[in-house]
Amino acid sequence: MRYRRAFVPGASYFFTVVTANRRPLFAEARDVDVLREAFRSVRAKRPFAIEAMVVMPDHLHCIWRLPPGDADFATRWRLIKSHVTRHLGSTFQNVWQNRYWEHLLRDEENLNRHLDYIHYNPVKHGLVGRAGDWPYSSYRYVVAGFYPNDWGQGDGPDLAGVGSE
């Protein structure tokens, strides 16, 4: 079976990218910094907006909005993964799973459910008790008024059917 990706210029996408064998590649701040540098480097050459992101020890989720007329997220991911591999590959032999998962965001409700999924992920995995306590997340929406101040505690939002883990 051949996998088909949806390439829509200027669209927003939700991505899940996983480390090889679920190894905790991003358990240390210095390794997360390598990932940040990879994103900065690629965005300088091939711009895109990061709408939301969470970096977990063994995977990451993010939402990108591509520029009008541009649907090439595949090259961006190849460059990001290559950068990280070059800088962390001597420490971690096989860095990434071969593929990644993407989902074309269809509407505002779909976007909001994926934003919730991203920001609640550290709580879901038992890494923190509140979404705002995870240091590698774009949970800045609390400050902007997107979420109420107590969001992301306890049982969390209804995330049925969202994500790929």
What are the residue numbers of the active site?
136
Q: How many Å apart are CA 140 and CA 146, to the nearest integer?
A: 9
Q: How many Å apart are CA 46 and CA 22, to the nearest integer?
A: 28
**Amino acid, single-letter form, for residue 24:** P
> In this structure, what DSSP letter does residue 44 have?
H
Helix (H, G, I), strand (E, B) or coil at 55: strand
